[in-house]
A and B are shown apart, each in its own frame.
Chain A
């Protein structure tokens, strides 16, 4: 038997890789859900990257997931841009969620132009967050969005149908929204293995 080495020192020196990587720092972009922040390796939304939210249909709680982030950004006078949203964002609800509408802009575009507009907004670096709904975007289009988000150091959000979960994606974070019960699970997160716990999102009635 050699000398006894305490496990703690090995972990502290980061010489042993643990499958469930411990969170190092508190992220700059908290999701607003503490339970979700806790299981993400970045401690929040991945900075300057594209995050993908997969959902069954609009109204599955995606606004509930994002409103805290959008409210925080608009309070810091960062602009958020909605590129070709599927429906009209009803201002009363957005206001009561704390979003300052003066910093929110809508862009109407056809599906092809929407990708271009989203890329321009992400790349410009003058927006805090860009939300887009790429309907049938392929891997290349998503990669462009991811690179644009990196260049412009902007949070990018892409909402895509649930059936895309089986296809690989270049997004740094992939979340999957379930509605019954309402919860969010992580499909992929850069910098760690995706945790298999699901976080409850909306309280059920």
Chain B
């Protein structure tokens, strides 16, 4: 087994920065009690202002006021770590959150799918860069070694046990993940590197140091196994972005929505499922949240497609008040079946499948705008058709008589005086059972202009001729 460790050196900062459009603005994460606020993490632009982490907020503001602040939120860090684990679950079934701000995943069994390690690693880096997280990746024969090597290396891949010994031997004692007092004791004893520690007799180490030390060294070298708890992805997706100002235009919402949908797509790819309906909640200060449900006909999981469909609906949404936060909830995650396409398509230029086209039309024109039409076995013209979604179901129809190709949505008074009767009357009397009783005499007439009209005279109500349709 080979384990990869992905370490996120500034998870909290990246989590805040990826929600902002300009990442070059100086930003400081603040923690501590309200009485003593301390700068916890900084981006390079803030560091260039002379700020240092550990500085109190008042001291930092004395240096400069041209930086933005955000809360250093431990809960957010956990959420981001869980999100990244869901992403990594797409690459390996054994992902562990054992170490804070890092992921450990078993990759040897995935190499068959994702190619040799250099290509696999490049893909991981590309996707993490697209998601907006800085990272260090190392590969080692056991998870503990991978995590410890990530303390000092990036891009290191170790395949054999002897190479692992060699590399670990050169690691300084402070970077071995040992308890602080043990590490200090070693350095005071004059032991600087791991190789020197390994040179000591085991029984003296056991006598002088707590038992965890030997256990840690053994797992590090792979002499002893470690039981890691594997990550299980949740069954639903729920993410929220708090905006740092009140947003009043739909255009300004597009950036956070795009981020949320990219996260949703990464989550779906990790679980190998798709989404058919999800809702976007826009939170306001005093009003209840605006809900925008997005329902698709098919199951999708590509970020671009989902974003385009959401955008079409978002642009038509009327928001009653400024938006403070955006939340995306997807509870129903059905299995994703990729669309089957012919290898030799008859129409090579076909750049948009019918399903995609239908979604695009629906997102702009409304869910009901695109429909199929179906004939129903009924003699009354108004009840003889039905629009909606059908999947190829048909009814047995009454014997074919001459019927018009165009049916008016509602009958209109037939005003043309000069006409010639071609056929009729045909009596249609039906519907006593559903309170829509009809008794009509239908005629085919030719108008003065030469068009053929289907008109009727209601027998019970009486009155003028009514136009119902045109022949063709």
Contact = CB atoms under 8 A, between A and B. Distances in A.
A113 interface: yes
A39 to B, nearest CB: 22
B357 A101 contact: no
A143 B379 CA distance: 43
A56 B349 contact: no
Interface string B337-373: 0000000000101111110111011001100111111
B351 A125 contact: yes
Interface size class of B (residues with CB under 8 A): 35 or more
Given A87-B470, A93-B403, A181-B450, A117 B365 contact: yes
B123 interface: no
A89 interface: yes
A124 B372 CA distance: 19
A37 interface: no
Contact of A59 (B364, B387, B451): B451
Contacts of B114: none
A175 interface: no
Given A91-B384, A101-B374, A113-B364, A63 B405 contact: yes
B405 A102 contact: no
A62 B470 CA distance: 11
Contacts of B352: 123-126
Interface stretch (B96-104, B205-213, B406-414): B406-414
Interface size class of A (residues with CB under 8 A): 35 or more
Contact of A180 (B351, B405, B450, B470): B450
A180 B418 CA distance: 14
A96 B400 contact: yes
B361 A63 contact: no
Contacts of B403: 90, 92-93, 96
- Top 3 A-B pairs, shortest CB-CB distance: A59-B470, A179-B450, A180-B450
25 contacts: A56-B449, A59-B452, A59-B469, A79-B354, A87-B408, A87-B469, A88-B373, A89-B406, A89-B407, A91-B373, A92-B384, A92-B403, A93-B405, A105-B370, A106-B387, A108-B365, A108-B370, A117-B361, A120-B357, A120-B361, A124-B357, A125-B349, A125-B352, A126-B350, A126-B354
Interface of A: 56-64, 67, 79, 85-97, 101-102, 104-109, 113, 116-117, 120-121, 123-127, 151-153, 178-182, 202, 205
Given A91-B385, A113-B365, A179-B451, 20 more contacts: A58-B470, A59-B470, A60-B451, A87-B407, A88-B406, A89-B373, A90-B405, A92-B400, A106-B387, A108-B370, A124-B352, A124-B353, A125-B349, A125-B351, A126-B347, A126-B352, A127-B357, A179-B450, A180-B450, A181-B450
